[in-house]
Amino acid sequence: MRMSRLIDDGTSVAVTSAKPRLSLVTALQILVFVVLVAAWQLGAALGWIDPFFFSRPSDIAAKIGEWLVTGYLWPHLAVTLTEALLAFVIGTVSGVACGLAFARIELLAAVFDPYIRILNALPRVILAPILILWFGLGMASKVALGVTLVFFIVFFNTFQGIREVDPVVRNNARMLQASDRQLLRHVYLPSAMAWIFSSLHTSIGFALVGAVVGEYIGAARGIGYVVAQAQGVFDTTSVFAGLILTSAVVLVIDLGIHRLERHLLRWRPRI
């Protein structure tokens, strides 16, 4: 463990406990993947795992290949991703905005606190029919479902992040005559940034969950629709293929978030 990043000039001494090397990490990741998949395939072959319920990796791969070749998947994936991204953006923006407002306006926070908690405890999936009622069977209802999941995760973290601001730094900015807006922009937001990003990693997953579950409950297209249909005809392979593909896509989006985070939080001491 080091206090800070050092420059390694090649001639230098060995450095203890450096960041694990990239190639090693990749190798191990692949190893884990191979082991898991092999165990699954073997389990299915030996009858420990019932392929009726869990399918087989080889079948899933074949199914994914088929979808990619026939292009069957793209329109569904496009719909689901659009919904998830919209839910993510809307949920994040509103979560951050409300978190800021609540953290700054004590009366607001005190009065609405129990209501926010009640809403957070509502099982949204049960409310899905109501969302469909309000927003129809199209994208809007799925986006709404996703937003109800993302919002609270982002909200609670933003709220807490703002309260974590170093009082001395905040007072310094106030003495430098920052207006409330400027305080928000230059002090509260950057200070809460680590908190907000932490919630984004969770919430991108939940945005997708919202979209897929919404489609699963009622839709005419989207991955959730595909999965629901497959489940109806005991096509476990397609269920897994659909889930795996969506996860892969989220992984890519999350990587983007991670990049952004690294950039925006480059001012922090590296541990």
- Minimal CA–CA distance to 87: which of 156, 155, 142, 124? 142
Q: Which of residues 10-29 bind another protein (CB under 8 A)?
A: 11-13, 15-17
Evaluate whether 188 touches 104 at the Cβ level (below 8 Å).
Answer: yes
Give the shortest CB-268-to-another protein separation in angstroms.
7
Q: Which two tokens stand for residue 144?
A: 């709404």
Write the interaction track for a copy of itself spanning residues 98-127; mark x where CB under 8 A is met and - where it is not: --------xx--xxx-xx-xxxxxxxxxxx
Number of residues engaging a copy of itself in binding (CB under 8 A): 70
For residues 227-257, b (16+ Cβ closer than 10 Å) or e, as one string? Answer: bbebeeeebbbbbbbbeebbeebbeebeeee
Joined together, the tokens standing for residue 47 give 């009858």
Our finding on whether 147 is near a copy of itself (CB under 8 A) is no
Among 6, 72, 247, 259, binds a copy of itself (CB under 8 A): 247
Cβ of residue 145: shortest distance to a copy of itself, in angstroms?
A: 11
Which of 145, 147, 151, 140 has its CA nearest to residue 116?
151
Q: How far, in Å, CA of 208 to CA of 149, rounded?
A: 10
For the chain, report the end-to-end CA distance as a whole number of angstroms.
8
25 binds a copy of itself (CB under 8 A): yes
Closer to another protein by Cβ: residue 23 or 70:
70
Query: Which CB atom, from 11 or from 252, has the smaller least distance to a copy of itself?
Result: 252
State which residue, 6 or 110, has the beta carbon closest to a copy of itself. Answer: 110
Contact between 94 and a copy of itself by CB under 8 A: the answer reads no
Q: Is 131 helix (H, G, I), strand (E, B) or coil?
A: helix
User: Which one among 220, 252, 263, 271 touches another protein, defined by CB under 8 A?
Assistant: 220
For helices 236-264 and 73-104, the axis angle rounded to 10 degrees is 40
> Shortest approach of a copy of itself to residue 243 CB, angstroms?
6
SS3 track for 62-102: HHHHHHHHHCCHHHHHHHHHHHHHHHHHHHHHHHHHHHHHH
Binding pattern for the stretch 180-209 against a copy of itself, x by CB under 8 A and - elsewhere: --------------xx-xxx-xx-xx--xx
Nearer to another protein, 92 or 238 (CB): 238
- Given another protein, a copy of itself, none, residue 118, with its beta carbon under 5 to 8 Å by kind, binds a copy of itself
